[in-house]
Structure 1
């Protein structure tokens, strides 16, 4: 115990032992500055200086632009800009993909090719088929009310009530004689209506012009987009009265009867109707007489 006590006193003596730091004039040896120091004072002062320097450096890096000069450290502004650009890029990619699919569908309509646009829905949902014998199909009151409401709406639905043909439901684009009818097997997805040259061609319903240009095979072509996935196509026109992007009302003149394009044999209108990407017989909905 005596040795430990003596050793402790020796350490204390060394820590608290006073030293003098003197700065002299080298020529005259005149004393300029002197400091009284101890090992403990030097250790404490040095530690405080190191801690203060570390704290000052941390604050300098954290709250000043100097941090941007440190390798591997990016600014908050750059990170925010990178994030915003990433979001914008993703949005542009989605819009571009949607636009490309939309243009592909329009291209199929113009070419009259729907083989690649058909989907076998039965095979697509084959794995989800249910056995009716194992399901209680007794309709509940809410289901009966919904069925009645849907039936009332379908009564006035454009295509549901006229799929079997019959009444006039769309405005006739032109009056004339049908020389060739709808024939999906021969890929004639519309009707050819003969009319005098320069006869006005009118819009069958309200919509927007999404294509109005010259094509080699079908001459001047107009494609209109209507509601509920309906497209109307007017081919072999002599001239165009509307351009792409124009909003057109029912019965408004959009073109005139002509004889343009390689696949024409005289002044007439080739008219098509497409519903949700599939061609339908225009004669079932329009009286061309």
Structure 2
């Protein structure tokens, strides 16, 4: 065995001896020097005990921080209440953004109604007809017994409910706003999205259906204007009135007087009513829904 190996072995034995060497820790009475408590310790025992104590202290501190409110007092940790408030604010922000987008679309629709500024897109009607064209000879149109019975029942109910029918969005019955002469019809090509009805000054103008007044003001181009919002996304517009009988926010019934015929605004050519119908942001021909 070489001298180097002997030195290394001797050094290991010295280290082991130091680690395992026993020491006695004695606690004495200072007055009588009476031995009260004594411990046999070694460097290895002290090192192991101290390491376990430090590990236990770290684990206990971690548990206290993770599972108790004490973590709220440590910089960098947010409280549970603040996290909940932040989450609620996030949901409210998303809701407000959605409401704002809906409101902006609604306001844009109102702006288009008032200004008549609408972009029309040409539609290929032939291609639509080809998609939905059916051969009548391939369909059995013979009514079945249940269908005949249902038709008879509906006809009997309608016979006694002429004035109190439940209407849906597909068959909404509209009341004529004015009795007069149609002087100008709906023409999208000329950007005239309305029907002009001439009548004597101060003739009552009536609501075409139940709804809520969403605009009732004076405009320089179209004079006194009133807009009524109905169900199923329908808007009715009455322009060039001489006066208004309703205000914004009023609830109106079908056939109720809302204004009077006038000759107000820059674009008028005489006493008449400029009447428009809008459905879900698009103009429709009033003559398709109302018999003037």
Q: TM-score, normalised by structure 2?
A: 0.69
Residues 112-151 of structure 1: pairs in structure 2 closer than 5 A: 112-115=116-119, 118-119=120-121
C-alpha change, 1:33 and 1:244, in structure 2 (3 Å) is farther
Counterpart for residue 18 of structure 1: 23
**Distance in 1 between the 2:73 and 2:262 partners?**
70
How much does 1:14 deviate?
A: 4.9
Whether 2:222 is the aligned partner of 1:218: answer yes
Which residue of structure 1 aligns with residue 194 of structure 2?
Answer: 190
Pair 1:277-2:281 in alignment: yes
Q: How does 1:206-285 map to 2 (within 5 A)?
A: 206-285=210-289
Q: Aligned with 1:259: secondary structure?
A: coil
Instruction: List gaps (5 residues or longer) in structure 2.
Output: 1-8, 152-165
Any gaps of 5 or more consecutive residues in structure 1? Answer: 133-137, 163-168
In structure 2, the residue matched to 1:47 is: 51
Q: 1:96 aligns with which of 71, 75, 100?
A: 100
Secondary structure of 1:198's counterpart equals coil
**1:282, 1:109 → 2: CA distance?**
14
The alignment yields a C-alpha RMSD, in angstroms, of 4.3
Kindly provide the CA deviation profile for residues 67-106 of structure 1, in whole angstroms up to 9, marking residues without a partner as x: 2343443223222222222122112112211221122122
Is contact 2:169–2:232 with CA below 8 Å preserved after alignment? no
SS of equivalent to 1:271: strand
- The normalised TM-score by structure 1 is 0.69
Structure 1 residue matching 2:189: 3-state secondary structure: coil
| Change in 2 beyond 3 A, CA 1:264/1:106 | same
Whether the 8 Å contact between 2:244 and 2:260 is mirrored in structure 1 is yes
Distance 1:18 1:186, change over 3 A: same
CA distance in 2, matches of 1:70, 1:120: 66
If asked which structure has higher relative contact order (CA below 8 Å, sep 6+), I would say: 1
Post-superposition Cα deviations, 1:181-222, rounded to whole Å, max 9, x if no partner, equal 323222221122222333221111122222222211111211
> Per the alignment, do residues 159 and 85 of structure 1 end up closer, same or farther by CA in structure 2, a change over 3 Å counting?
closer
Given the superposition, is the C-alpha separation of residues 188 and 36 from structure 1 closer, same or farther in structure 2, using an over 3 Å criterion? same
| DSSP-derived class of the 2:216 partner | strand
Between the aligned partners of 2:122 and 2:198, the Cα distance in structure 1 is 36
2:181 counterpart of 1:177: yes
SS of equivalent to 1:171: coil
